[in-house]
Amino acid sequence: MPVTTQGSRPLVECESLVRIHQHGSVEVQALQGLDLVVGAGEMIAVVGPSGAGKSTLLSVLAGADLPTAGSVRVAGWDLTALSRAQRLAYRRDVVGFVRQQTARNLVQYLTARGNVELPLALAGRGPRARRARAVELLETVGVGHCADRLPSQMSGGEQQRTAIAVALANGPRLLLADEPTGELDSATAQEVFDTLRLAQHEAGVTVVVVTHDPAVSDQVERTVAVRDGRTSTEVLRRTEVAEDGASRVIAQEYAVMDRAGRVQVPREYREALALTRRVRLALEADRVSLLPDVVAR
Ligand code: ADP
């Protein structure tokens, strides 16, 4: 079982996830056997080049897209085997989603409070309880002053924080955010990131953020890199206190091994030693070495 930074039991477990999109006779493999475990209460960043499969992964975790093969469990829900009613319940109660485009997260003709009340109404909460919860949530994320404003009367950062309040309304276990700071300047991006952190710490929500923003990925304990539809590397960060009492963050990059023992060797390593199709593996006392196939040259 892969390590989660908090050592907690897993909330998200993806194993050998495959998602093939069919366009006429053309097949696009968006996910090609992706493995990912996220511990309950953990916050991770997912990074990777455009087209790597990050959005597809979030759609699968959101219950909006079905994998072609593989298994995915979130908070005990098997997302490959949900009835229509269960899928609706999962999307309403278990998972919250924040998108990059601030305008797409909120209903434009509803106030901030109206937006937060919407999922509460869909979950059958009465008007009084809805109002109280919406006001409380907006205050928690620092935009209580926007309760009666329309999205067009709020800044981008205020809209994204309202979107986080909407996503948290029904007390989800998992919060998914797809480039939530992509349209914001760095100071506002930090505020939005701090709000996600707040959701993690105060509400105990597990957070998965897809981001290109190094300022975000550098601040989480674990960054998972997705490449060609698979998890390629993970960076774990921990804070170490030196003898002089100063603390510093140590970041260590790991390759990820799947259950079948497959490891992706980074392109720079392959190019540096001209590793091609065949390599030699040597088991030593405390390591496994991977050597070029000299016979092939
Ligand atoms: P990322 O979020 O990392 O940019 P995506 O998950 O959006 O990557 O896409 C992964 C691959 O799957 C890309 O090659 C993309 O073109 C393809 N893809 C994503 N969604 C669809 C779709 N609905 N139909 C066809 N191809 C898709």
30 close to ligand 1 (CB < 6 Angstrom): yes
Residue 27 CA to ligand 1 center (angstroms) comes to: 11
**Residues 176/164, Cβ–Cβ less than 8 Å:** no
Domains of the chain and CATH, by start: 41-63+81-263 (3.40.50.300), 265-296 (no CATH)
Nearest to 97 by CA among 28, 176, 182: 176
Best residue among 50, 56, 57, 66 to mutate for probing ligand 1, ranked by most atoms within 8 Å of CB: 56
In single-letter form, the type of residue at position 247 comes to S
Best residue among 28, 54, 179 to mutate for probing ligand 1, ranked by most atoms within 8 Å of CB: 28
pLDDT tens column, 246-255: 888 888 888 8
In this structure, the number of other CB atoms found within 10 A of the CB of residue 240 comes to 9
pLDDT tens column, 23-47: 888 889 999 999 999 999 999 999 9
Closest-lying ligand 1 atom to the alpha carbon of residue 19: 12
Residue 287 CA to ligand 1 center (angstroms) comes to: 37
Closest-lying ligand 1 atom to the alpha carbon of residue 49: 3
Closest-lying ligand 1 atom to the alpha carbon of residue 50: 4
pLDDT tens column, 118-170: 999 999 999 999 999 999 999 999 999 999 999 999 999 999 999 999 999 99
Best residue among 29, 55, 100, 226 to mutate for probing ligand 1, ranked by most atoms within 8 Å of CB: 55
Which pLDDT score, from 0 to 100, does residue 2 have? Answer: 44
pLDDT band at 62 (very low <50, low <70, confident <90, very high): very high
105 close to ligand 1 (CB < 6 Angstrom): no
Higher pLDDT, 289 or 240: 289
31 close to ligand 1 (CB < 6 Angstrom): no
54 close to ligand 1 (CB < 6 Angstrom): yes
Which pLDDT score, from 0 to 100, does residue 1 have? Answer: 42
Average pLDDT of span 4-18: 81
Which pLDDT score, from 0 to 100, does residue 3 have? Answer: 43
pLDDT reading at 17 higher than 70: yes
pLDDT tens column, 220-231: 989 999 988 888
Residue 13 CA to ligand 1 center (angstroms) comes to: 21
pLDDT reading at 87 higher than 60: yes
Alpha-carbon gap, residue 84 to 106, rounded angstroms: 25
Which pLDDT score, from 0 to 100, does residue 7 have? Answer: 57
Residue 294 CA to ligand 1 center (angstroms) comes to: 38
21 close to ligand 1 (CB < 6 Angstrom): yes
The rounded percent of the chain whose pLDDT value lies above 70 is 96
The rounded percent of the chain whose pLDDT value lies above 90 is 58
19 close to ligand 1 (CB < 6 Angstrom): no
159 close to ligand 1 (CB < 6 Angstrom): no
Nearest protein CA to atom 26 of ligand 1, as residue: 21
